Amino acid sequence: MNFNKFQNTRNNAENSTENEQNSTEKKHSNPIIPSGLISRINTINSRTTSNKMYAGYNNKSWRTTEHIDFQEVVKFLNEVIEGKESQSELIYSLHNIFTNKLNSTFSAFGLYCKQSNCINFKIIDKIGSTFTSRVLINGSDNPVEKVFTTKTPMYVDSNKFLNVHYLNDSAVAILPLCCLNECIGVMLVGDNNFASSAEIYKLVASYLSLFIKNRDLSTKVMMNTDTDALTNLNNHRKFLELLSAEIDKAKRTETQASIVIFDINNISQINKDFGAAKGDEIIKLVADKIKQGIRTNDSAARYGGDEIAVILPETTSDEAKYLAEYLTYSLSCCLVDDVGPVKVSVGIATYPKSTQDLEKLLILAEQAMYISKSKGYKNGMSTIVCSDDFDFWDDTALSSFASVIAKRHASIGISFDEELVNKFHSEEIINQGHLIEVVTSLASAIDAKDEYTKGHSTSVSRYAEALARALNLPEKEVERIKLGALLHDIGKIGIPETVLRKPSKLTDEEWEIMKQHPTIGAEKVLLPNESLHDLIPIVKYHHEHWDGSGYPEKLKGEDIPLAARIVAVADAYHALISDRPYRKGMSNEKACEILRVGAGIQWDKDLVREFINISESLYTMI
């Protein structure tokens, strides 16, 4: 379906209601409203939309809504445009109009990022949960790229191209955000009845484009300098501009380029104890020392409030580390009244050794800086960390990586969970021990998403292994169950934290989202790794019930793989003895009693009996 069909329909409607249109023309006059739009909308008697958003519901279940009041929608749009100064506030307000007035199932707003050559989407579903997605502009068949490059709207029957597992599949309208013949992004609206509101959506896309363009122009007018006022170094915007040019040069000349980020320690505490003027004094001192110590072709900038970044052209990581050591030594010799020596944490990343992507280069440099901060000082000197020096799966590295993504890069389309899975897929597994180490770190990172389930995967793996050994299963099968239990909840990597961390009871829609995690874990995480295919049955079916009432496929009895049944018992036991937001962890006796009651209904009764026999030795008060 395309917009030409909508135009023909609109023209027919205009001809049939010409007299009515003339009588109301003055009443609805508005220079930005397309001709005939009022009559086009007012001929609509009903529309339908999906009443459930997520997998597990019948996609053919619809609800009929009241007649759309075009004047009311335009009124709300005018109020939204006039009353909002923040782009983020505007987007949420438009989303509310789409879902509440036009009954759309989701909306997504994406702006083009020139540096990364991609469109970064913020996706908002019907219940207000937000997700991110990224579409590269690389000559693919993705409909988003087609709309962006051709500046022509499209209507497609499925939203699968977004690769967001927990969005119910629906038709999608894809509209370019164009201003002055320049496409600055794309707007998506999930709507199985798009034809009835096509003109409104196009109107909103035009509104949004003008708003964003005007905001950008206003920002540029305010930015009348490339220099930071306090330090007289380049500001953050200029730094990114210089870095982009330097990376382009390094690509052409096939040379290396390094970034060094210096973070001044304890600035917040210094500001609190001695006032902001003392903090500014130290920041300026660090900036002056770094500017004096770098080469003429290097560039220094104030990267953040207490961070100074340096671009080092034609410099390897070893050379960058040598320069960083010299600068940190120089700073340590500077004594500030009431504070003492200046201390900094230092992170380094090098193109193309660390990565060839500019955004990820910055992330790696910041991650290295956070690791440096965690390591502290040795012999009065800071620990300088290069991105090549640390193991990605180390607990400190994972924590630092998550901090960087959450603090600085949430808006660029890079997701911690997504990067974690990508890294897992690209990891070269050396041996079984290495695999267990990586899997354990991955599982711990997922457990950390929920403060009440930290250590859950490791405990379930231990219980499942003990039960498998009690059944005298072959050693190879025991190891498979142990590994599968570690990854049994890995699909929670795709569950929004608003659902995962909700302390109260989940709504029906939220529960349907939560029930997707076994399938997400099996298909998104394990399926791309051929060496892990034998773990898929454990991850996918550990929530199936003996009586067939479980999910995702309602398997029954011995149709459920034995390994999955073992993990199901271990998973339930640990959940029972663990603290939760709504209750304290149960005793071993109480947990075993609940397992007995559910034996033959939810769990395999033979496995429950065997587990209860060994439970006393496994129980640990949490």
pLDDT tens digits, 425-464: 777 766 777 777 777 777 777 766 655 556 788 899 999 9
**Sequence letter at residue 522:** A
**Tokens at residue 517, please?**
């995690």
Percentages helix, strand, coil for the chain (3-state, rounded to 5) are 55, 15, 30
- At residue 336, the pLDDT reads 87
Q: Do residues 465 and 482 make contact, with C-beta atoms less than 8 angstroms apart? A: yes
What does the pLDDT read at residue 100?
A: 85
Q: Please tell me the distance from the alpha carbon of residue 9 to that of residue 196, in angstroms, as a whole number.
A: 10
Q: With a cut of 70, list the residues of the chain below it in pLDDT.
A: 1-68, 83, 219-224, 377-380, 391-419, 429-430, 447-454, 580-582, 620-622
Amino acid 405: pLDDT: 60
Q: Which two structure tokens, joined as six digits, stand for 373? A: 């901060």
Which ranges of 409-535 does DSSP label H, i.e. alpha helix?
416-426, 432-447, 456-470, 475-486, 497-500, 508-514, 517-520
The DSSP secondary-structure symbol of 533 reads G
Return d(Cα 151, Cα 145) in angstroms, integer.
Answer: 10
User: pTM, whole model, 2 decimals?
Assistant: 0.56
DSSP labels, 159-205: -GGG--TTSPP--EEEEEEEETTEEEEEEEEE-TTGGGGHHHHHHHH
| Strand, coil or helix: 259 | strand
Other Cβ atoms less than 10 A from the Cβ of 202: the count is 19
Q: What is the pLDDT of residues 578-595, one digit of tens each?
A: 876 667 888 999 999 999
In whole angstroms, what is the distance from residue 329 CA to residue 339 CA?
17
In a 3-state reduction of DSSP, which class is residue 472? coil
| Cα separation values, 260 from 145, 312, 376, 550, Å | 35, 8, 17, 52
439-473 as b/e: b if 16+ CB within 10 A: bbbbbbbbbebbeebeebbbbbbbbbbbbbeebeb
- Kind and range of the H or E run holding 310: strand 307-313
Residues for the chain: how many in total?
Answer: 622
Query: Quick one: which H or E segment has residue 110?
Result: strand 106-113
Instruction: Kindly give, in sequence order, each residue whose CB lies less than 8 Å from that of residue 476, ignoring residues fewer than 6 positions away.
Output: none
Place of tokens 């989701």: 106
350, 317 contact by CB (below 8 A): yes
Which residue shows structure tokens 């002056």? Answer: 288
- Per-position DSSP letters for 4-69, written without gaps between them: HHHHHHHHHHHHHTHHHHHHHTTTT--TTSPTTHHHHHHT----EEES--STTS-TT-EEE-PPP-
- 3-state SS, residue 427: coil
CA distance 194 to 561: 44
Q: What is the structure's pLDDT at 42?
A: 43
pLDDT of residue 290: 94
Whether 162 contacts 186, CB under 8 Å: no
Interatomic CA distance for residues 510 and 500, integer angstroms: 9
In this prediction, residue 599 carries a pLDDT of 94
Tokens in use for 121? Answer: 């989407």
Residue 286 and residue 16: Cα distance in Å, rounded?
74
- Helical packing angle, 267-274 and 276-293, nearest 10°: 140
Cα–Cα distance for residue pair 210/552, rounded to 1 Å: 45
Q: Residue holding tokens 């608003």?
A: 498
pLDDT, mean over the chain? 80
Residue 442 · residue 434 · CB < 8 Å: no
Q: Cis (ω within 30 of 0) for the bond into 352? A: yes
Question: What distance in Å separates the CA atoms of residue 610 and residue 558, rounded to the nearest whole number?
Answer: 17
- HEC string of 477-492 equals HHHHHHHHHHCCCHHH
Query: Which token pair is 530?
Result: 């051929």
Do 488 and 539 contact (CB within 8 A), yes or no? yes
Tokens of 621: 């008060």
**Domains along the chain?**
3-221 (3.30.450.40), 236-401 (3.30.70.270), 416-618 (1.10.3210.10)
| pLDDT reported for residue 496 | 79
